[in-house]
C-alpha cells in the first residue's frame, strides 16, 4: 500500500526525477565536468577515468515504509526470471514515473557499465519513499 499523504516528499521525488529526465535529454549538449556526486547535479559526467559522455543517471528506488528496494524482472516476457534493481527514469507525468530496467554489463576499474533492457514499468510517485543515484554512465542504443 502506498502512503500518498506525504505530499512534500512526493513533490521532492518528482522534482528530482524530472531533473534527471531533463539532464538525460540534454546530455549530448553538456560539457563534462567533475563535481560531487548527487541526484540533482546539473550535468551528467562519467568517472574521471572515462572519456565518453554520459547519457544516463541510473537510480535505485525504495518503496513503501519500511523502505524496500524495488526489483523487477529483466525480461518482460518472463516475470519470474532474473531481476534488477537499477533503473533509468524515462518519463514523469502527473503522479507517475516510467522507468527502464537496466542490467549490469560490466564493472571495470572506476566505472560500472549498464545495459538497457526492453523492460519498462510505471510507478505512482506516492509509492516511492526515496531513491539513490548511482554514478552517471553511458548506455548504448537508447
Residue 135 phi, psi (nearest 5): -55, 140
Q: Within a domain: residue 128?
A: yes
Specify the pTM. Answer: 0.78
Q: pLDDT tens for residues 49-94?
A: 555 678 899 999 998 766 689 899 898 788 888 999 999 999 999 9
Residue 9 near residue 127 (C-beta atoms within 8 A): no
Domain count, the chain: 1
Q: Within a domain: residue 140?
A: no
Q: Within a domain: residue 49?
A: yes
Domain that holds residue 22: 7-133
Q: Within a domain: residue 69?
A: yes
Q: Within a domain: residue 141?
A: no
Q: Within a domain: residue 28?
A: yes
Q: pLDDT tens for residues 100-115?
A: 999 998 877 667 789 9
Q: Within a domain: residue 138?
A: no
C-alpha cell at 86: 537499477
Q: Within a domain: residue 64?
A: yes
- Is pLDDT larger for residue 37 or for residue 129? 129
Amino acid at each position: 500500500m502506498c502512503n500518498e499523504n506525504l505530499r512534500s516528499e512526493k513533490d521532492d521525488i518528482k522534482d528530482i526525477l524530472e531533473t534527471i529526465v531533463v539532464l538525460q535529454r540534454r546530455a549530448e549538449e553538456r560539457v563534462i565536468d567533475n563535481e560531487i556526486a548527487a541526484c540533482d547535479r546539473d550535468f551528467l559526467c562519467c568517472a574521471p577515468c572515462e572519456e565518453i559522455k554520459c547519457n544516463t543517471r541510473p537510480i535505485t528506488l525504495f518503496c513503501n515504509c519500511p523502505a524496500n528496494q524495488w526489483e523487477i524482472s529483466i525480461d518482460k516476457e518472463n516475470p519470474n526470471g532474473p531481476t534488477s534493481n537499477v533503473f533509468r527514469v524515462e518519463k514523469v507525468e502527473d503522479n507517475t514515473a516510467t522507468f527502464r530496467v537496466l542490467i549490469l554489463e560490466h564493472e571495470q576499474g572506476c566505472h560500472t557499465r549498464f545495459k538497457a533492457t526492453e523492460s519498462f514499468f510505471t510507478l505512482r510517485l506516492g509509492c516511492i519513499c526515496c531513491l539513490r543515484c548511482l554514478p552517471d554512465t553511458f548506455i548504448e542504443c537508447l
